[in-house]
């Protein structure tokens, strides 16, 4: 979860909302929506403790064609585009380190290739490296939050007070677009469901990991972005992809900026690594079901699927920009997750409340669906090109599904 979104979104959000307070409110609201989604996915995982994520859930609850569409969305928007977004964020923070003589796309390409090598060659070694890097990342983020909070406190040894937020009127459409971007930053809350079939005692551990992960990250996101948006004048932060680096420069000069850039590099690489590890499990399950080429069928190390994932992500890195990618991914993943929660409600209606219990029913599913679909609808009116691209991505899956079914004689 701790990837490109938390280190880039607030700069774009400040440009749209013009207020620090509304940006932080959006991070809190987005975290609450993610917690509702984690609760719903936990209920689904207890009933369907299998790997594959939305592909598996929607195939079982609505129809295999809908599940295939979700798997297709996972291939392009669930993993490929977020991996590329993380690589683009990495370039934004580290490009200056390597100078203008090197095209920035090569930094993202190198990070994706390294992650593919980690997880495409040896499963256990890749997991150990991932866990170590995530532990370092969490420790570094907590240290930065503590140091930044100290430097922002009034006193003789701190920075001068930063200008107050602007008084621009609140605009619901801009807030909705920000929520879509923030939903992308939180989107990893559902990662465990892609491995559910490989988790010990999944009925207990999958829901727990979903909720604890979302809660922990929400606290870190709000605290980290509070430091970012109050560290420097608003006009210096608005619209910047490297908002964290600008904030660190204002708080502690070049040394703190360099330290923050190193932290971001670590965070974004672990995000790339996690998605390169998780995404191929979806394609492997689809191949097992005859809806993807047999080359990608499950194995101890799904090397072919890892190579496919890395290759697609590199192609996106060289062909798009970060802001457009955040809108496209946030819209499409929101629609996919909302469909999965609808599948949970259908399953509960079909099998009964005793077999499919949902904590906080009906309010928690309702909050998630209203928040997610409402933000997506507002974003579609403000950024129609990204929304249309997302819908086109999903619709392309239907003829592909029909062709694969015909080929397999089903």
Query: Lowest-confidence range among 62-66, 240-244, 357-361?
Result: 240-244
Q: How does pLDDT run across 185-204, given as a tens digit for each residue?
A: 887 788 888 777 777 888 88
Alpha-carbon distances, residue 118 vs 125, 269, 272 (angstroms): 7, 12, 11
pLDDT of residue 358: 92
Cβ atoms 177, 327 nearer than 8 A: yes
Cβ atoms 54, 64 nearer than 8 A: no
Cβ atoms 59, 67 nearer than 8 A: yes
Cβ atoms 308, 296 nearer than 8 A: yes
Alpha-carbon distances, residue 318 vs 9, 88, 91, 101 (angstroms): 21, 9, 12, 17
Closest CA to 63 of 325, 368, 406, 405: 405
Distant-in-sequence, close-in-space partners of 68: CB < 8 Å, separation ≥ 6: 55, 59, 286, 291, 397, 400, 401, 404
Q: What percent of the chain has pLDDT over 90?
A: 21
DSSP states along 184-253:
HHHGGGGGGGGGGGGSSSHHHHHHHHHHHHHHHHHHHHHHHHHHHHHHS-HHHHTT-TTHHHHHHHHHHH
pLDDT > 50? residue 161: no
- For the chain, counts of helices (H) and of strands (E): 15, 0
pLDDT of residue 120: 64
Mean pLDDT of the chain: 82
Q: How does pLDDT run across 213-224, given as a tens digit for each residue?
A: 899 999 999 999
The CATH superfamily assigned to 4-405 is Amino acid/polyamine transporter I (1.20.1740.10)
Alpha-carbon distances, residue 347 vs 61, 279, 352 (angstroms): 6, 25, 8
pLDDT of residue 105: 76
> Rounded to an integer, what distance in angstroms lies between the CA atom of residue 285 and that of residue 228?
40
**122 pLDDT tier (thresholds 50, 70, 90):** low
pLDDT > 80? residue 163: no
Q: Would you state the torsion angle of the CA atoms of residues 130, 131, 136, 139, taken in this order, to the nearest 10 degrees?
A: 140
Alpha-carbon distances, residue 218 vs 35, 102, 122, 388 (angstroms): 9, 36, 32, 30
Cβ atoms 310, 28 nearer than 8 A: no
- Roughly what angle, to the nearest 10 degrees, separates helices 54-61 and 64-73? 160
pLDDT of residue 410: 57
Alpha-carbon distances, residue 13 vs 21, 37, 192 (angstroms): 11, 23, 29
Q: Which pTM does this prediction carry?
A: 0.78
Residue that wins the pLDDT comparison between 355 and 316: 355
> Rounded to an integer, what distance in angstroms lies between the CA atom of residue 52 and that of residue 215?
23
pLDDT of residue 164: 43
pLDDT of residue 401: 87
Q: Which helix (H) or strand (E) holds 83?
A: helix 81-98
- Alpha carbon 330 to chain centroid distance? 8
- Residue 295 DSSP label: G
pLDDT of residue 106: 81
Q: What would the mean pLDDT of 157-170 be, rounded to a whole number?
A: 47
pLDDT of residue 158: 38
Closest CA to 330 of 157, 85, 71, 165: 85
């Amino acid at each position: 979860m701790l990837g490109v979104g938390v280190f880039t979104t607030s700069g774009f959000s400040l440009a749209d909302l013009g207020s620090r307070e509304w940006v932080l409110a959006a991070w809190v609201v987005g975290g609450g929506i993610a917690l509702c989604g984690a609760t719903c996915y936990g209920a689904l995982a207890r009933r369907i403790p299998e790997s594959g994520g939305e592909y598996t859930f929607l195939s079982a609850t609505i129809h295999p064609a809908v599940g295939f569409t979700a798997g297709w969305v996972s291939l392009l928007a669930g993993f490929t585009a977020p991996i590329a977004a993380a690589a683009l964020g990495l370039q934004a923070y580290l490009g200056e380190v390597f100078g203008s003589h090197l095209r920035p796309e090569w930094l993202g390409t190198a990070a994706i290739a390294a992650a593919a090598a980690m997880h495409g060659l040896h499963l256990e070694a890749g997991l150990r490296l991932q866990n170590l890097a995530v532990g370092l990342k969490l420790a570094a983020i907590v240290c930065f939050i503590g140091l930044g909070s100290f430097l922002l406190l009034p006193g003789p040894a701190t920075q001068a007070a930063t200008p107050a937020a602007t008084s621009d009127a609140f605009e619901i459409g801009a807030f909705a677009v920000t929520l879509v971007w923030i939903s992308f930053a939180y989107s990893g809350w559902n990662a465990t469901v892609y491995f559910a079939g490989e988790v010990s005692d999944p009925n207990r551990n999958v829901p727990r990991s979903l909720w604890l992960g979302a809660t922990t990250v929400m606290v870190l996101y709000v605290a980290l972005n509070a430091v970012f948006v109050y560290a420097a004048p608003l006009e210096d932060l608005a619209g910047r992809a490297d908002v964290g680096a600008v904030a660190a420069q204002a708080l502690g000069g070049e040394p703190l900026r360099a330290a923050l850039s190193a932290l971001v590099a670590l965070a974004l690489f672990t995000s790339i690594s996690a998605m390169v590890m998780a995404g191929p499990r979806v394609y492997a399950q689809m191949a097992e079901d005859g809806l993807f080429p047999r080359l990608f069928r499950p194995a101890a190390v799904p090397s072919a699927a890892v190579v496919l994932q890395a290759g697609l992500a590199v192609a996106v890195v060289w062909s798009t920009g970060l802001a457009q990618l955040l809108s496209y991914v946030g819209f499409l993943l929101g629609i996919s997750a909302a469909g999965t929660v609808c599948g949970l409600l259908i399953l509960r209606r079909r099998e009964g409340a005793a077999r499919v219990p949902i904590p906080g029913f009906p309010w928690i599913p309702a909050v998630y669906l209203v928040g997610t679909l409402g933000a997506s609808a507002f974003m579609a009116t403000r950024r129609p090109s990204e929304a249309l691209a997302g819908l086109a991505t999903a619709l392309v899956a239907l003829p592909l599904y029909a062709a694969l079914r015909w080929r397999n004689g089903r």
